[in-house]
Amino acid sequence: MRITNNMLVNNMMYNMANNLERMDRIQQQLATGKKIAAPSDDPIVASRSLKMRTDVAEIHQYKRNVEDAGSWLEITEASLQNLGDLLHRARELAIQGANGSLTTEDASKISIEVEQLKKQAVHLSNTTYAGRYIFSGFKTDQNLIDEATGLYNITVETAGLLREDIKYEIGIGDKININVLGSELFGGAGTAGTPPKLIEDLDNFITALNTGDQAGVRTAIDRIDENIDNLLMVRADVGARTNRLDLTKNRLMADDTNFTKLMSQNEDADIAEVIMKLKNEENVYRASLAGGARIIQPTLVDFLR
Amino acid sequence: MRASFFGLNLAMTGLYASQRALDITNHNLSNVNTPGYSRQVVNQRADTPLAMSDGTGMIGNGAQVFGAQRIRDEYLDFKYWSENVSYGEWDIKKTLLSDIEAVFNEPSDSGFNTVLNEFFSAVHELSKNPSSLATRALVKEKGITLANYFNSTAAHLEKIQSDTNYAVRSKVEEVNSLSEQIRSLNEQIYKFEIQGDVANDLRDQRAVLVDKLSRLIKVDAQEVVVGKLSNGRDDKRFQIVADGKFLVDNFRSYKITYQQSDTKNNPEDIPGIFNLYWEDGTPFNPGGGELKGYIDVRDGAGDSNNEFKGVPHYIRKLNEFVRVFAKAFNEGFIDYDGDGLIGAGEDKIGHADGYGLNSVTGDPLPGIRFFTMNSVSSATFVGAAVLPDDINALYDDITARNLSLSQDIQDSVDNIFTSTTAGEKGNGQILLNIIDFRHDSKVFNEGTPEDFMRSLISNLGIDSQQAGRISLNQETIVKQIDNRRSSNSGVSIDEEMANMVKFQHAYSASARMVTTLSQIYDTLINRMGRF
């Protein structure tokens, strides 16, 4: 083949431009730490990268949801524990009150304490978390039991579609309800203006004490036991939910680590490998420069005198 | 008996031949870097010999130069022109598809994925704490960011379409200018050659122009013999055919015109698209080249009109996305069977089915939409539509360009509907229901909303990669042909230097001949007969 000077120059420039382009791509990988800069560099990596970013973002959101649900359940659990202590104290007092040898004075002292317990119970029913009433179902802006009357302030629906379970999503399609419905905890009809069973029972207990109604005080023990049983059931339920949250949290933590690792494997450049490639390309580029300098310089002109 | 001074004449022909040869060498060396230049070689032969009548045979009459020949393989020109078309087309497509990729800006921390993730994240937070005004404001802001993402992506795509539209116009002007230049060269070449010469350099110039033209549109260029001239030579005409018609027919060139049409080729198009016509009004189809590259990117919607996936395709896809997304978010409509109607099981719970922060028990359902277009209020957007199918049809007016939050939401974040029942500030059930569609793999043919966008972006990546590969292949082919052309027609400095020395020696030798003859004549004239 006949080789002309322009062919040499053109070929050298073309090859050099290709070398430079490859070097530029590798340098870009080094500078960004990513394998690809645009989807066309590798559509499969790009698509997978998009999916994984979404997955990781979702896992982070679910982790936040689990943490928030945990805080809510913690507050609930603390209130339930207080309520439990309160009921046990009330039961002790009822057993004391059922003792026939009690004087009227003693009975009225007990009655005063039970009165305080009742107020405390009403207070607990209106526990708030971040300004929201935790036992009020969806009506988190309204208190459950009226402090003055001791009657339900609002109706908390427990039936069917209207049931006021606050739900947090802690996984795809996985929702957990985080609240305890006040009407289920305190008993009674649960509609606004009706008395909660727990408060009503304490009221009856106080009345029995004040009127010296021994039979009434003995009934109060049974009633308080009923409330304690109910409370235990609710606490067991809350405990089970906390348990589920913990499990979910562990799984999300593991997912987070795994997916972040996968994401990195998918889209991050292997720096050691990239530097090796860069060195290699650098050598090729230098060689092509050196070769080019030799091949395009001399012509016959240099040797004719 | 030979003439006395015959030897000097003979030496003169040698001097002339060497001089002509040196001139051509000089011309070649001067044009070593001229684009499209073909080297020329001197055509030289021994002059017609004289027959001697005395039986001593023929006597040589010296050298004769009968022209400079242009070294050119026309087959390589045809090859170059036919391959250059694809190179022009795919090089433009590669560049423009990379531009579209840059518009989508994925994978990155500021692209669609991030925007959508953050929006859903805000919705999640609000579902947990629906009474918080701060969280409501967050949902509003992230909603605005989402709408803005689509607005600006669509605006950038429209900008690319408008830029390619003007590129189409300027490329057409380039085609017209080239065909006019070729026409004028045809005239000059014809005039020169009718006298029997070969217009070497003008032919080179014409080939360069056809090289340029072949990159812009698909052309079929050839010289045809139409008859004989009065001097007995072939009557050759140079013709360029594009799209089945003459673009240049020897002394006549035909213009391509452009007109802004009133009707849009695609519903997504910007106004003022240039359509191309021949002078006689029939539509012009470039058939390849840069012009086709620009037109395909500008008009390609990936449908039966133009199968290439260009700007309209991506705008159409974005429009489809925002419509389905807004429908599912606002109304809970998901058209599973794709019949365009909202049948049984396709009307789920959406934003409009809920209640805002301050609605009280007994309020009628006010039906505020979260997303509308051009920031209009829900009432304006919905108008008199009541039936699901009628409301569904309203969403056809929403585009990626005009998607916005409704005026109601922009006015007050209280209007973000979270509750299934009026008067329940802690009720976030609506949002929880809406979030479900994010994982509904039947929302789009491609799957979930994120699957849809992911498949859009990875298809774009594949198309762009493919355009890059074809362009690179064509570049290699074109380069290869050009190399062969260079090999055949290019000037080699070494060769010219060798020729120079060769011709210089020949000249010196002829000159030496003159000196020798001069000495002979000196002897003959001055010394002979003197005593």
Shortest Cα–Cα distance, A298 to chain B (Å):
9
Instruction: Write down the pTM of the prediction.
Output: 0.88
Q: Under 8 Å CB-to-CB from B297, ≥6 apart: which residues?
A: B92, B93, B96, B97, B160, B164, B308, B310, B311
Paired with B221 in beta bridges are B240
Instruction: Spell out a b/e string for A102-134, using b for 16 or more CB atoms within 10 Å of the CB, else e.
Output: beeeebeebbebbbebbebbbebbbbebeebbb
pLDDT at B1: 47
ipTM over 0.90: no
Rg (CA), chain A: 38
Long-range contacts of the stretch B256-263 (C-beta < 8 A, 24+): B256/B172, B256/B175, B256/B176, B256/B284, B257/B172, B258/B168, B258/B169, B258/B172
Segment A248-255 shows an average pLDDT of 95
Q: Does B414 touch chain A (CB under 8 A)?
A: no
- Smallest Cβ distance to B98: which of A40, A49, A132? A40
Kindly report the number of other CB atoms within 10 A of residue B64's CB atom: 14
Strands (E), B287-339: none
Tokens representing residue A256 in the block: 């987070």
- In this predicted model, what pLDDT tens digit does every residue of B294-323 receive, in sequence order? 999 999 998 888 899 999 999 999 999 999
- In this predicted model, what pLDDT tens digit does every residue of B171-220 receive, in sequence order? 999 999 999 999 999 999 999 888 878 899 999 999 999 999 999 999 99
Phi, psi for residue A228 in degrees, rounded to 5: -65, -45
pLDDT at B459: 94
Between CA B164 and CA B120 the distance in angstroms is 36
Shortest Cα–Cα distance, A276 to chain B (Å):
25
3-state secondary structure of B404: strand
Residue B456: closest C-alpha in chain A: A47
Between CA B420 and CA B127 the distance in angstroms is 12
Segment A13-33 shows an average pLDDT of 92
Within 39-58 of A, beta carbons closer than 8 Å to B belong to: 39-44, 46-47, 49-51, 53-54, 57-58
Tokens representing residue B123 in the block: 């919705």
Least confident span in A266-275, B35-44, B78-87, B363-372:
B363-372
Segment B315-337 shows an average pLDDT of 93
pLDDT at B259: 93
Q: Does A11 touch chain B (CB under 8 A)?
A: yes
Residue B149: pLDDT band with limits 50, 70, 90:
very high
- Residue B79 amino acid letter: K
Mean pLDDT (chain A, rounded) = 91
Residue B138: pLDDT band with limits 50, 70, 90:
very high
> Does residue B362 surpass a pLDDT of 90?
no
> Does residue A28 surpass a pLDDT of 50?
yes
Q: Does A8 touch chain B (CB under 8 A)?
A: no
Measured CA to CA in angstroms, residue B404 lies from B250, B324, B408 at distances of: 59, 14, 11
pLDDT at A283: 94
For A192, the enclosing helix (H) or strand (E) is none
For B249, the enclosing helix (H) or strand (E) is strand B245-249
Residue B425: closest C-alpha in chain A: A139
Chain centroid to CA B259:
20
Shortest Cα–Cα distance, A161 to chain B (Å):
10
- In this predicted model, what pLDDT tens digit does every residue of B484-519 receive, in sequence order? 999 999 999 999 999 999 999 999 999 999 999 999
CA atoms within 13 A on the CB side of B452: 23
- In this predicted model, what pLDDT tens digit does every residue of B387-445 receive, in sequence order? 889 999 999 999 999 999 999 999 999 999 999 888 888 899 999 989 889 999 999 98
> Does residue B89 surpass a pLDDT of 90?
yes
pLDDT at B530: 64
Segment A255-259 shows an average pLDDT of 95
Sign for the pseudo-dihedral over CA of B127, B132, B136, B137: negative
Within 147-176 of A, beta carbons closer than 8 Å to B belong to: 162, 164, 166-169, 172-173, 175
> Does residue B37 surpass a pLDDT of 60?
yes
In percent, the amount of chain A with pLDDT more than 70 equals 100
Segment A92-116 shows an average pLDDT of 88
- In this predicted model, what pLDDT tens digit does every residue of B250-261 receive, in sequence order? 899 999 999 998
pLDDT at B31: 94
Angle, nearest 10°, between helix axes B289-299 and B311-330? 10
Kindly report the number of other CB atoms within 10 A of residue A24's CB atom: 11
Segment A35-57 shows an average pLDDT of 91
